[in-house]
């Protein structure tokens, strides 16, 4: 099936997914944490899959069945969407619907000017940046041998310097692989050059390709959040909760759970949430007892973060 959903996405609202890679997964990477299984077709360059007419017809038919239009049409493939040599033409055709188009890419092919040109047509692009160190890149992303670290990095910087839409980065953190402070600082320095609108930090939330892959704990996630923030990045967490990033709604419990899934909540902010919602000061302790949130300490300061291990 080419189109699916819409699925709720914290980043994109209601997102109609477009899988422009047919059959088994086809990718330039074989990431150890990949949540769509092992890479069976491992290729380093673009190919022709579906025609733009096929993509357009599938989306048109799907939209015709929906009660409400989605917020985004999102290329999120069973593999790497930029491997599709017709991606640019498909994006151009889909624009006729008047719905913004998003692409979630591993960024490995951005050394190719044609890929950069195709992606420049999208309104919203997320690029994967898991490592700014060649050995760690090879360990976590397991790239096709014809790809080079420097080539991918140069392509990423070239795209970021010219792209006019909403650019996001996504870093998937794996315990003991890329979640060390020094590696995250290196990563943050590369992302700072990319200047994304938002830098997302994610953890594996579904069964990974390699069984050895583990999520970092809350303390490591909190540390990563601060390292990225201190590098000047607008940072958000993707911990697998799709709650709204709400302000103060009158529901202190909901606000704490939603906000802590996106940002660690510091003591002053927690006090403000409780005060504005006229909630009991004991609520954070109660949520800790219920294992909904956890207390973590970073540079002698106390934070609350959503407890993803409860799931």
Q: Which residues bind ligand SF4 (CB under 6 A)?
A: 27, 29-31, 34, 36, 39, 79-80, 106
Report in angstroms how near the CB of residue 94 gets to ligand SF4 at its nearest.
Answer: 21
203 vs 296, beta carbon nearer ligand SF4: 203
The least CB distance from residue 44 to ligand SF4, in Å, is: 12
Q: Closer to ligand SF4 at the Cβ: 80 or 255?
A: 80
List, as one string, the DSSP characters of 214-281: ----HHHHHHHHHHHHHTT--EEEE-S---------S-HHHHHHHHHTTSPEEHHHHHHHHHHTT--T
CA 70 to chain centroid, in Å, comes to: 19
Rank residues 128 and 226 by Cβ distance to ligand SF4 and give the closer one. 128
Q: Nearer Cβ to ligand SF4, position 39 or 187?
A: 39
Evaluate whether 194 touches 129 at the Cβ level (below 8 Å).
Answer: yes
Give whichever of 127 and 239 is closer to ligand SF4, judged by the CB atom.
127
User: Closest approach of Cβ 134 to ligand SF4, in Å?
Assistant: 17
- Phi, psi angles (nearest 5°) of residue 226: -70, -35
Q: Which of 120, 121, 201, 110 is nearest to 157 (CA)?
A: 110
CB of 192 to ligand SF4, least distance (A): 23
Q: Closest approach of Cβ 259 to ligand SF4, in Å?
A: 27
| Sequence-separated (6 or more) residues with CB below 8 Å from residue 164 | 120
């Amino acid at each position: 099936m080419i189109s699916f959903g819409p699925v709720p996405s914290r980043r994109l609202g209601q997102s109609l997914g477009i899988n422009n890679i047919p059959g088994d997964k086809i990718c330039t990477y074989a990431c150890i944490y990949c949540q769509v299984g092992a890479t069976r077709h491992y290729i380093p360059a673009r190919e022709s899959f579906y025609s733009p007419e096929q993509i357009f017809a599938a989306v048109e038919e799907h939209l015709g069945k929906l009660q409400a239009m989605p917020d985004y049409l999102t290329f999120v493939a069973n593999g790497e969407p930029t491997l599709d040599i017709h991606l640019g033409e498909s994006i151009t055709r889909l624009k006729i619907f008047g719905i913004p188009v998003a692409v979630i890419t591993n960024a490995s092919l951005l050394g190719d000017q044609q890929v950069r040109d195709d992606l420049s047509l999208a309104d919203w692009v997320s690029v994967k940046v898991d490592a700014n160190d060649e050995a760690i890149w090879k360990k976590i992303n397991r790239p096709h041998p014809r790809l080079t670290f420097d080539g991918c990095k140069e392509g990423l910087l070239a795209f970021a310097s010219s792209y006019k839409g909403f650019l996001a980065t996504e870093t998937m953190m794996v315990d003991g692989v890329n979640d060390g402070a020094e590696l995250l600082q290196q990563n943050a320095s590369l992302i700072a050059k990319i200047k994304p609108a938002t830098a997302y930090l994610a953890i594996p939330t579904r069964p990974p390709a390699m069984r050895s892959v583990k999520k970092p704990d809350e303390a490591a996630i909190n540390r990563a959040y601060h390292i990225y923030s201190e590098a000047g990045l607008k940072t958000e967490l993707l911990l697998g909760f799709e709650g709204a990033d709400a302000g103060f709604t009158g529901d202190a419990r909901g606000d704490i759970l939603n906000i802590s899934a996106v940002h660690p909540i510091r003591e002053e902010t927690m006090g403000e949430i409780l005060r504005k919602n006229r909630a009991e000061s004991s609520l954070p302790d109660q949520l800790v007892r219920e294992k909904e949130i956890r207390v973590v300490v970073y540079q002698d300061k106390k934070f609350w973060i959503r407890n993803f291990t409860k799931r």
